Amino acid sequence: MSTNNSNTRRQVRLGLFIQGAGHHVAGWRHPDAQAGSENLALMQRITQTAERAKFDMVFLADGLTSGPDAHPSMAMRLEPLCLLSALAMGTRHIGLAATASTTYSEPYHVARAFASLDHLSSGRAAWNVVTTSYDRTAANFTRGNHPDHALRYEMAGEFVDVVKGLWDSWDDDAVLKDKARGVYFDPAKVHTLDHKGQFFAVKGPLNASRPPQGHPVVIQAGSSGPGQDLAARTAEVVFTAQQTIEEAQVFYRDLKGRLPKFGREGQQLHVMPGVFPVIGRTEQEAKDKYAQLQEWTDTSGALSLLSDRLGHDVSKYPLDGPLPELPESDQLKSRAKLLTDLARRENLTLRELYYLVAGARGHRIVWGTPVQVADALEEWFTGEAADGFNIMPPYFPGGLDDFVELVVPELQRRGLFRTEYSGTTLRDHLGLQRPVSRYAGR
């Protein structure tokens, strides 16, 4: 497959969802797992592995709470911008996507940090915009209460606009460094945003020249109505959790259908569902691997974790009984709905639902031989249920090594995935245009 080919034919996008302790709740207990939410050497190794396999990007989720009852991967996490700045040093091509909250940060700080990461990585930064679901976050930030879902999304919309405006503060050709004339930059090419909105007043300019990508790539994961509208208006990649191809196709069509009303086209936004792969040389080996992971799972905290995910306390219900009727949760709307729909459809007990959450947190589990896994990905890709996938290995580094050594070559053989990078920035990898500054031509 030539470089030209990869420019003309639609290809699968691959992200690696990094979670130091592994995506399976018990993944860190695997004998080969190098457990470590704060293990830099592990993060370096898996990022370099993903780059060797020509992944589009690595991705870091985030949260702003912890506690004695938190899962290892949530209880402690290296700050994503710091970690990705470090990982940028050992890599040259792979995109670097970090999560930052629009509810608990400031547009100036966020714009600046991602501009810096984009400079440090020569154009590989992406910002995963989240509004932060967990209401207990407010208690860590001197806030009386956590804004409700609708309000958070209104704030997020304005926040993203301000950040994009700040990224345009400096024209691409503003910095001259003309030693002879003593002109470091052209002051006429520095712009003051002067934003005064409903939630934010931000004057600018940003203290960072225009990022190499113009704007770092914007990612979102909200699946609610307001989340989808925000994504359709502002995002270039959408992460999502989908269980069946039918659901995924509906989501894909719905989201892409929202683009025209914002003057955008389908290829300007990539839909990338999460995939939790369990790979064996035979189907039985994959099954056994999955069973082994489930065996290591400690069910003592099951109902607490499940309550957390559902946004409702289910701890007084029997573990082997059905999911009780629950009022709709405000704070975790789309995520909770996904789980309750799944439980109803598959007629799952609370224990079975917990095992699914423990494994892939509501994401699609794909298991089997490399050919079976590649088939499963190809079906969704060609069936317009996905433009690519956010890969969630059960444990690290072995779970990723399996995917990279066994499944990626199979996708490449089918011409579905690149064998070499054709550009240097994340926008290059994703086939996304570099945004023109709002001040261009003025």
Q: What angle do CA 376, 377, 380 make, to 5 degrees?
A: 90
CB closer to a second copy, 196 vs 316: 196
CB of 127 to a second copy, least distance (A): 13
Regarding 145 and contact with a second copy (CB under 8 A), the answer is no
**What 3 state SS string does 126-160 have?**
EEEEECCCCHHHHHHCCCCCCCCHHHHHHHHHHHH
Stretch binding a second copy (CB under 8 A), from 71-79, 241-249, 367-375, 410-418: 71-79
Stretch binding a second copy (CB under 8 A), from 176-184, 231-239, 328-336, 350-358: 176-184
CB closer to a second copy, 4 vs 142: 142
Q: How far is CA 159 from CA 142, 219, 221, 225, in A?
A: 20, 14, 16, 18
Which stretch of DSSP H or E encloses residue 185?
A: strand 183-185
Closest to 277 (Cα-Cα) out of 404, 375, 399: 399
Closest to 406 (Cα-Cα) out of 292, 287, 286: 286
SS3 label, residue 202: strand
Regarding 199 and contact with a second copy (CB under 8 A), the answer is yes
Closest to 258 (Cα-Cα) out of 288, 277, 238: 238
CB closer to a second copy, 7 vs 315: 315
Among 46, 94, 130, 202, binds a second copy (CB under 8 A): 202
Site for a second copy in 363-422 (CB under 8 A): none
Quick check: 321 and 350 in contact, CB under 8 A?
yes
Regarding 63 and contact with a second copy (CB under 8 A), the answer is yes
Site for a second copy in 18-47 (CB under 8 A): 21, 26, 28-31, 33, 35-36, 38, 40
318 preceded by a cis bond (ω within 30 of 0): no
Among 192, 263, 347, 442, binds a second copy (CB under 8 A): 192
Among 50, 83, 269, 310, binds a second copy (CB under 8 A): 83
Site for a second copy in 84-113 (CB under 8 A): 85-86, 88-90, 104-106, 108-109, 112-113
Residue type, 320: D
Site for a second copy in 281-320 (CB under 8 A): 296, 298
CB of 350 to a second copy, least distance (A): 20
Quick check: 125 and 213 in contact, CB under 8 A?
yes
CB closer to a second copy, 136 vs 253: 136
Query: Sign of dihedral through CA atoms 303, 306, 311, 317?
Result: negative
Largest CA distance in the chain: 79
CB closer to a second copy, 301 vs 322: 301
Regarding 58 and contact with a second copy (CB under 8 A), the answer is no
Stretch binding a second copy (CB under 8 A), from 201-209, 227-235, 349-357, 381-389: 201-209
CB of 49 to a second copy, least distance (A): 18
Regarding 441 and contact with a second copy (CB under 8 A), the answer is no
Q: How far is CA 20 from CA 75, 76, 97, in A?
A: 11, 10, 15
CB closer to a second copy, 143 vs 438: 143
